[in-house]
Amino acid sequence: MAISSDEYNNKTRDLNTDVFIAGGGPIGATYAKLLVEAGYDVVMAELGAADSFREFTRDDGRTDYIPGFHKKNTVEYQKASLDIDRFVHVIQGALSLVSVPVQELTIDTLNPSSWGAQGAQKPTHWTCATPRFNKDIELPVLVDNKAENSKEWDRLYYIAEKLIGTTTTAFDESIRHTLILRTLQDAFSQQNRTFESLPLACHRMPNADYVNWHATDTILEHIYMDPEKRKRFTLLTNHRCTSVEVVDKNASNKTIGAASLKNFLANRDGQFPYSFVQAKIFIIAAGAVATPQILFKSGFVDYTNSNKSLIKNLGKYITEQPMTFCQVILKSELMDLIPRNPFKLDWWQEMVRNHKERHPEDPLRFPFRDPEPQVTSKVSQRHPWHAQIHRDAFSYGNVAATIDSRTIVDLRFFGFAEPRVDNTITFESGYEDDFGMPQPTFHFQLSDDDRKRAHRMMLDMCEVADKLGGFLPGSEPQFMAPGLALHLGGTTRAGLDPETHVADTNCKVYGFSNLYVGGNGVIPTGFASNPTLTSMCYAIRSAEAIVAQLGGQKKVVRQ
């Protein structure tokens, strides 16, 4: 509902800026960084609190802070390498139920190839995994020419990897990582299958025990460390963008005039509960669910008469990732190799020797703080799913304290679902979520091909697991509940055809002159790989288009 003129005049702050961004994650931060560096004023509204900061020293010697620090960098979790599952509770605390099922008639974790595995609504972590999409299976079309499209994606991926700090070397001197990687490479060499280090947004600290995981702060540091740029950036935390307002709904090319915000930490006496932000450009990058939710709340969709909808394809063709999971205890024969330094690596020998001297009673003979494995098998024609073989904290898969975590390996395999018009997310006008927004409802089923592919993925995961060890009781191979990967896509899909997409390939919403969308929701293809890097690519391309729209003389600064 739009805010009345009286509320606007009497109870709101009037913010006027060049660009307004709803959403303060890596995608919103990418927009902010590039547009601020291009010389524009930016206001960003973020629902979350600025409760995680990275400290730095300014040129004047004073201590300052950059918001958006990855919570896994906190010392207590870095030191807890023997009990990595302590971070699970942080993840669980950050998740919330986005939709309530109308009825429960299915078994969520049933093999998708089985009868009755129809999919269901479920509660819906930036793990810093940043793989590129497979060019033949996952990669969307930005340019209607295959060679030029590939060239454009290579350019965008290069910029995005620099922005977020992608690396494949942070775990090179990990005994477990090297052992698992070499074991799988040898085991599948005859099948011409590639296993490699998982691309991650992180860097290893001078003290090799610690890894700095990259997040929003990595992108925003270029703003916060420069006093002139920082003057052009305003961050409103604990603020939810509830809707955007059209200046003239009868215009053929609609223009957004303002965004309505709700401040969740407003004065309890009712002072300043809302705000208007006026801008030249509006970017909604609040997540794959919240972005279409805001557009629905803005009155842009009419489910009873599609001809009255200003955005006809909102929430259609949604995709998600079928997911399999298991945990194995490494084979004795592999653990027995560790003191022998099978690959003749100097750093390996030194780590084993130092650990033996300090802890002669430890039967495993390698450091308690040995970095975890981070191995992947990327999407391919023969294996059209994304594999992660690692040991990481998720909202599930925690290990009992009586088991030495150094012996445990997690296998998470992610499949993809074909985009289909009948797979949708809709919103309920009469029901609200915890933040007073229209409640989402998911209508989603896997296609026959999706089911068969998911079944093959499960068999493949079991074969890979067999090369490493035996299943941990309670974590045998299983399909995870729909939505658990948190990689929903397609809700605001971007593409060349306005008849089947929400926005163009610059992420400008069709039928609007100054409204852009960002995030995983813009990806129009089915994808198995982690989507954040690809979503950043869209934001980079979109920011370049916005610069051109606002004047063209200012160029996006590339790192």
What are the catalytic residues?
A: 487, 530
DSSP states of 252-265: SSB-EEEEEEEETT
Q: What are phi and psi of 163, to 5 degrees?
A: -60, -45
Residue count (the chain): 559
Cα three-residue angle 49-52-58, rounded to 5 degrees: 115
DSSP string, 462-473: HHHHHTTEEEPT
Q: How crowded is residue 303: how many other Cβ atoms within 10 Å of its Cβ?
A: 13
Q: Which of 415, 387, 389, 385 is nearest to 321 (CA)?
A: 415
C-alpha 435/C-alpha 294 separation (Å) is 12
What stretches of 101-238 adopt beta strand conformation (E)? 166-167, 196-197, 200-204, 211-213, 233-237
CA–CA separation, 130 vs 168, rounded Å? 10
Contacts 24+ apart (CB under 8 A), 301-308: 301/427, 303/426
User: Whose structure tokens read 């330094």?
Assistant: 341
Question: Exposed, middle or buried by CB within 10 Å (0-12, 13-18, 19+), for 46?
Answer: buried
Question: Would you state the structure tokens that stand for residue 472, as one six-digit string?
Answer: 């941990």
